[in-house]
Structure 1
Amino acid sequence: MMLPLQQATSREAKIDSLPEHILTDIFSVLTFSSNESRLYAPDILSHVSSRWRAIALNATALWTFVVVTFPVVAGQIARARAGLSRSRDRPIDVYIDVRDPDWNWESDEGQDRMRSVFVVEIMQWLEPSHHRWRSLTVLTDTWTPMHTFLSYSTMFSSLPELERLSLTRCNAFAGLPDAPDPVPSHPVELFGGNANLPKLRHVTLSGAHVDYSCTGFKGLLSLDLRHQARRVSPTTRQLRQLLHASPELKTLSLVALNPNLEEPEQDGPTVSLAHLTDLTLGWWFVEDAVKLLEVLQLPVVENIVLEDIAPTLLQHSYIARDSTPILDTLVKMGNRPYDPAAPSSFPSHLRRVMINGVLLDPVAFSRFIPFLVNVEELELKSVQPDLVQAVGHNEGILGTEREGSSVASVILRLR
C-alpha cells in the first residue's frame, strides 16, 4: 500500500533529526569504506547542509587521509592542507604518489628533475605534521624522486606515531642484476639512521636506496624487501641484524634481492623466527635465494611462496635455470637435529605452499613431497607438468593443466 506523499516525505526527512553522534558514526562508515572514500567522502558530506558541515568538521578522524599525487590536479593541495588542519592532533595517513603517467621504460631517468622538486615542496609543507604520521606511503617510478625523499627524510630523527612505512619504486626491472644503477651516491640513511620509531610494525621497501646498516627498525611484525639494485641490496649480515631486532616477526618477503658482492659476507648463526608464519622468497639467481634461506630457522612457518621472478619479467628472453638447490635447502632445514628447547620445527606447521615459475628436478621434487605431510594446499603455477605428476594426488586437483604445453598451473588439495 502506497504511503501518502506527506507521510513518506516526513519519514525521509528524519535522517536530519538523528543525534550528532549517530550521524558521526554514519559519516565514519561512509568515509572508511575505502581509500577513495577516505579521500572524497568528508568533502562531500561537509557540503550537504550547514549542520552536516559542522558535524563533519568536528569529526577530526574523517580528515586523517592526506594524499598528494603527480601531476597535481585542481584543488588537490587545498584538500590535503585542509586535511592537515581539520585532523587537528590526530595521527594521519600520508600517501605520496609521484609516478608520472607519461613516463615509459625508455625514458632517461637522469632527466627527471621536476618531480624531485615536487617532492621537496611536498615534504616542506608536510614537515610540521611529521610527529603525527601514522602511516607513510611513497610511490615513484624513477630513482630521483625516491632518492630526494630519502635525502629529505634525514631531517626526521623521531616519528613517534609511525606504524606503517612503504617506500616503493614501482619498477621491477631496476632490480635486474645487470641493470645499470644511475644513482650517483651511496645508500641513504633513512630518517637519518637509527631513528626513534617506537610504534613502527610494518615495513615495505622496494627499489629504495636505503642504508640497511642503520635503519632503526625493531619490533617489526611484517617486513617486505624487494627489487634492490646490487650495490644497495642488504647483505646477509645486515639481514641478520634486521631480523634479530624483530623477534616477533610474523610475515617476511625477500624478493629479488641482489647481495652486494663488493662487501664480503660474514658467516653467522641462523636466525630463529619463532613467530614467523608467512614467508615469500623470490629470486633472480638461485644461489642468492639459498644464501638467504640458510640465514633462517622457520619453526612455525605455515605458508611459503617460492618464485623465480625472471620468467614473469623477462618472458621470452629468459632461459630457465634449475632451482632445485632451493628444495635441497628446505629438505636440510627439515632434517636439522631435534632441539628439545624448540620442539616445533620446519616443516611440521606447513599448511600452504605455492611454487611459481620454478624449474625443478622431478626426482628432487619427489624427495621434497614427504615434507608436505601436513600441507593442505599445494599450488603449482607455470611449472613443468611432470612436477604435477610427481605429487600423485590427481583426484584432488582444482584447476586445469594446459594440454600440449610445457608448463602447468594447478591447485592441489592434499587433505
Structure 2
Amino acid sequence: MKRATYQAAVSRLPIELLSYIFILGAHTPDANAVEADDPGTRDARIGPEEISPCVSSSSTPPDVFAAVNKHWRAVAVGTPQLWCRVCVTIGDLMENASNGWCPMVSRYIARSGKCPLDVYIDARDPEWDFSEEDLIGAVVSPNIDETYDYTHPFKVEHMHHLLNKLLPHITRIRSLAILTDRWAPMQTALECLSFRDPTFVSIPNPAPSYHPRFSPAGQHEPAYLPFSGLFSPSPLTSPDEERPLLPRLRQLILSGVHVDWSSLPLLLPSSRASPNSGLKRLELSYHSAEVRPTEDELRGILQDCASLRALTVRVSGPQTVASPTPWSPVSSFPPVSLPYLRTLELGYYDEATAAMLAMIDCSEVEHVAIENSYPMRDGSQDAEPLLLACAKVSSLASPRYGQPTFPRARTVTLRRVDASAEAFEVFYDALPCIQKLTVAQMFLLGGEGLSNRNVNLNFIPPDSPTSPSEGYEWEQGLAQWNEKWAALGEIYGDSKFMLS
C-alpha cells in the first residue's frame, strides 16, 4: 500500500500570507519592553527599542526562516521588508573573522531592495577593561609577577569597512545607532558621517557644473586633463599618421570630467570599417560653461562616432551656436548623421540644449528621455524651446518646417519637464510612432495630443521627502497626484494607463 505524503497546513499558505508571517516574526516587538501607556515607568528608563528597532529579544532573524527549506528560503529571499534591519555586534565580527568582515551586512543590504534600513552597530565588548588603547604586557601590580594583555576586538578598520558598505545607501537609512566602548571607532564614524552629502561614494556632486567658471581655477588646462599623456607626440610615430589611441574603446562617460575636446577624436576608434566597430555609447554631463566643447569640437567628436548607439548630454554641450534661433529652419551646417543612434537622453538647463539638438540627425532614434536638470529641486527652466525644436516648429502657431526630429521614437520619458500644455501637445503630435510615454515627477499636460492613440502611459510619482520637514508637503502633493491620475483614465479613455 502506497503511503500518502502529508503536507503541513503552513505549506499550503499563499506566498503573500507566508511572507507577512515572516515579517511579523522578524519584527516582533520585545514583550518585556516598556509599554507606552505607563508614563511613570517610561520616564524611569529607556527601552532597548527606543535606541534602535533592531534591538528585540523576541524577534527571529530572517536567516532562520530562509534555512528551513527550499520553499521558505525562496519566500524569505523574495521579501525585501524582511531584511531591512542590519544589526552588527562584536559576536558577528568574531564569528565571521575567517569569512571576511561582516558578509551579513552586504547580504542584508542586497536583499532589502529599496526598503528603508534600520542600522544598529554595537561595538561594545563585555570584557572591556575601560582602557582607550590595547594593552600588551601591562603590569597588573608591582607586587604581582604577572602581565596583562587585552586587545579590543572592534578596530577602527571595522568601522571604516562597515560605513563604506552603508554610505552608498545613506538615503535609505531610517535609523542609525552606533554604540562603542572607545572613542576612536566613534570618531571614525562621526568623520565619515560629517560630509554634507555622504552619497559621494556612488553619486558625483553636479553642483560645480552649474557655475560658469571651472573649479579649482587654473586646472582646466590641457596639462591637467585625462589622457593628456596619450596626446603627447611619440618619436616612434609620424605626425601625419592617424591611428586611434584607444582602438577598442566602446563606451565613454565623461561626467564632471572634461578633456581636450579638440584632441578627443584621436582617442576614438574608427567606425568606418563596419557598424560593429567604433564607440557605442557616449555621455557628456555636468561640465562648467568654461570647459564645455564648442560647436565645432562637438561636431568633430560626433562625426567620428557614426556607429553610436546611445548618446547622453546633460548640462553640457556648446553654449553658443551659429544660428541665433536654434529652432529656426535655417542652419549654417547640416546635422551630423548618426544612422545607428537608438537612444538619446537630454538633460536641459538652458536654450543651448535645443540648439545642440539641431546639430544631430535623430531620425533613427527609438527611445528619447528629456529631463529638467535645473540645480534647484523646486526650480525649473522653461522647456518650450526644446519641445518646439523637437517638433520642428518655430512657434506654437507656425507650421512645421520639416520632418519631426524623432519620427521613429517609440518610447519617450519626460522627467520634471516644465512647459505649457500647448507646447506638450505640439511635441506629442510630432511623435507619430510613440507607443509608451513615461511621465516622472510631473503632471501630464497636453494630453489631447495623445487622444485616440494607443499609447501606454506610465506615471512615476514625486520622490519621497529627503528630510522630515518636507514630509507634510510631499504627502499633500502625492495625494493630489493620485487624484489627478485617477481622473486621467476618464479624460483619455482610449489610452492605457499604468502607475509605477
Change (3 A) 1:315 1:72: closer
Letter matched to residue 315 of structure 1:
R
Change (3 A) 1:337 1:261: closer
Q: Which has the larger radius of gyration?
A: 2
Pairing 1:367–2:426 present: yes
Letter matched to residue 342 of structure 2:
T
Alignment of 1:76-155 (within 5 A): 101=192, 104-105=195-196
Contact in 2 for aligned 1:204/1:225 (Cα 8 Å): yes
1:304 aligns to what? 368
Distance 1:358 1:175 in 2: 20
Distance 1:357 1:273 in 2: 28
Deviation at 1:403, TM superposition (A): 4.9
Contact in 1 for aligned 2:439/2:458 (Cα 8 Å): no
Contact in 2 for aligned 1:256/1:309 (Cα 8 Å): yes
CA-atom RMSD, angstroms? Answer: 4.4
Alignment of 1:4-403 (within 5 A): 101=192, 104-105=195-196, 170-178=204-212, 181-188=215-222, 189-192=225-228, 193-194=230-231, 196-215=245-264, 216-218=267-269, 219-257=278-316, 259=318, 268-285=333-350, 287-310=351-374, 313-316=375-378, 318=379, 320-332=380-392, 346-388=405-447, 391-392=450-451, 397-399=457-459, 402-403=478-479
Map Cα deviations across residues 365-390 of structure 1 (whole Å, 9 max, x no partner): 22222222211101122234433465
Q: Which runs of 5+ in 2 are unaligned?
A: 4-97, 100-158, 162-190, 232-243, 270-277, 325-330, 394-398, 462-477, 490-494
Deviation at 1:173, TM superposition (A): 1.0
TM-score by length of 1: 0.51
Distance 2:480 2:439 in 1: 17
Letter matched to residue 338 of structure 2:
L
Distance 1:262 1:363 in 2: 27
TM-score by length of 2: 0.43
Change (3 A) 1:269 1:385: closer
Distance 1:289 1:171 in 2: 21
Q: Which runs of 5+ in 1 are unaligned?
A: 2-42, 45-70, 74-99, 108-138, 142-167, 339-344
Contact in 2 for aligned 1:385/1:408 (Cα 8 Å): no
Contact in 1 for aligned 2:213/2:290 (Cα 8 Å): no
Give the % identical residues.
Answer: 21
Letter matched to residue 428 of structure 2:
I
Deviation at 1:352, TM superposition (A): 0.3
Change (3 A) 1:399 1:170: closer
Distance 2:372 2:390 in 1: 16
Map Cα deviations across residues 87-132 of structure 1 (whole Å, 9 max, x no partner): xxxxxxxxxxxxx95573499xxxxxxxxxxxxxxxxxxxxxxxxx
1:124 aligns to what? none
Change (3 A) 1:337 1:264: closer
Map Cα deviations across residues 141-161 of structure 1 (whole Å, 9 max, x no partner): 7xxxxxxxxxxxxxxxxxxxx
Partner of 1:373: helix, strand, or coil? coil
Contact in 1 for aligned 2:281/2:311 (Cα 8 Å): yes
Q: When the two structures are aligned, how many residues end up with a matched partner?
A: 256
Map Cα deviations across residues 166-198 of structure 1 (whole Å, 9 max, x no partner): xx9811112114576224223435322556111
Deviation at 1:361, TM superposition (A): 1.6
Larger proportion of helix:
1
Q: Relative contact order: is structure 1 or structure 2 higher (C-alpha 8 Å, sep ≥ 6)?
A: 1
Distance 1:400 1:227 in 2: 24
